[in-house]
Chains A and B, each alone.
Chain A
């Protein structure tokens, strides 16, 4: 059985919907769901049919109201509004009509629906925390002297539910604290066309959970934090015997505090090409990633930011220049003996050089 989540252009919203659909299909079918990225749409694939008698099992896909993930997901909502929204979603996830609508709607290739006005009881506001692209809606022309910032975006309730389920189970949220406010980094791993699996080992949720536990926001900034996440993911892939779970990139969004509100700060896709190249070309991949993970951990203190930055630069844009910059800094800090950086085994650095 194949289901399709056609992309709207809002990366995090689309991807979270695909993961949400994968989780629902896996629960209802009791089998393994695969989520694959085919460019125009995400394909969600299950080998057996869904059984709506299993609908109560879907409740486990949403955590308790006290779970801090809700705070990240509904960051722009406050107090009662947030509590009511969670209660509403918990009812919606075990509503037969809603789930049937989802199963029918996504069984065929349908264009995604996004509206600029609310239709009572049918739509939900697409929050900035679900996708940065939803912020302030589409800007409209300024006519005369009246400035209009643009309309809020609305999406169908069932699409909203899928996005929430996907985010809650697959998004990694990390705060980067600063003197004034801070930044919230959201990371989702995008599957490749070969796809990821839900419901059987290696389950993509377990991979995400292990990375979430290990990842820290790096003092050197967002770039090294994303590189650190990418290397942790690459290590997870390299540890698989058959490499059946593959991701193509990291989709990320960053929000920053601005007075009482949160505003978009940045977002995009972080490439995994070089890391995949290492995985495919050498059996030493895990050792290489361990070395880099160790560097990210040890440099997470003032005075060593340059090494984390140069390593990140090398990982995202591997070239002779970026490799030299990284190696020079590694050597300089190693010789200073202030932090215990490790040296490379000959065959490991040989593999790094070979892959540039």
Chain B
């Protein structure tokens, strides 16, 4: 069993960022354009520094949508925690956990298992 991956997946900060990521690439009722740029960039991230930069970029993009549609933002504690997780576990595991969250069916969506 990969306790690390499971631990990251269950981490509240990852859950929080995962939910934001999910919303930005799978907008409810197509209310805004999907943020494919962040998704593509996420695939090519290799170092913790690049990953942190990507999160900043993603949050800036998300801020535009959040302002317009009055969405919840990532908490400051959550951001600190994610930075710590990247340093502790590395890029691959945090990215895998984030992508797993992006594939979770949200409460408004149809088509879950």
Q: List residues of chain A with CB under 8 Å of any chain B CB.
A: 287-288, 290-291, 294, 319-321, 323-324, 327-328, 330-332, 334-335, 340, 342-346, 348-350, 352-356
Contact = CB atoms under 8 A, between A and B. Distances in A.
Q: Which interface residue of A327, A328, A353 has the most chain B CB atoms within 10 A?
A: A353
B102 A331 contact: yes
Contacts, number: 83
24 contacts: A287-B113, A291-B113, A319-B2, A320-B2, A320-B5, A320-B92, A323-B100, A324-B95, A327-B96, A327-B99, A331-B39, A331-B99, A331-B102, A331-B103, A335-B25, A335-B36, A343-B109, A343-B111, A343-B112, A345-B105, A349-B103, A350-B9, A353-B2, A353-B6
Interface of B: 1-2, 4-6, 9-10, 25-26, 34, 36, 39, 43, 92-93, 95-97, 99-100, 102-105, 109, 111-113
Contacts of A327: 96, 99-100, 103
Nearest to A346: B104
A353 B113 contact: no
Among B1, B92, B100, B109, max chain A CB count under 10 A is at B100
Contacts of B111: 340, 342-343
B97 A342 contact: no
A327 B100 CA distance: 6
A354 B5 CA distance: 8
Given A344-B103, A349-B104, A353-B6, A328 B43 contact: yes
Contact of A343 (B6, B97, B104): B104
A139 B25 CA distance: 59
Contacts of A350: 9-10
Of the candidates A290, A294, A334, the one having the most CB atoms from chain B within 10 angstroms of its own CB is A334
A290 B102 CA distance: 20
Nearest to B25: A335
A327 B22 CA distance: 13
B99 A324 contact: yes
Contact of A344 (B36, B93, B113): B113
Nearest to B107: A346
A327 B96 CA distance: 8
Contacts of B96: 320, 323-324, 327
B96 to A, nearest CB: 4
A348 B113 contact: yes
Contacts of A340: 111
Contacts of A331: 25, 39, 99, 102-103
A296 to B, nearest CB: 14
Contacts of A328: 43, 99
Nearest to B4: A320
Contacts of B93: 320
Given A290-B113, A291-B113, A345-B112, A356 B5 contact: yes
A324 B1 contact: no
A55 B25 CA distance: 67
B109 A353 contact: no
User: Which 6 interchain pairs have the tightest Cβ spacing?
Assistant: A343-B105, A324-B96, A327-B99, A356-B2, A291-B113, A353-B9
Contact of A345 (B5, B9, B99, B113): B113
Contacts of B92: 320-321, 324
A87 B12 CA distance: 69
A291 to B, nearest CB: 5
Given A320-B92, A324-B95, A335-B34, A354 B103 contact: no
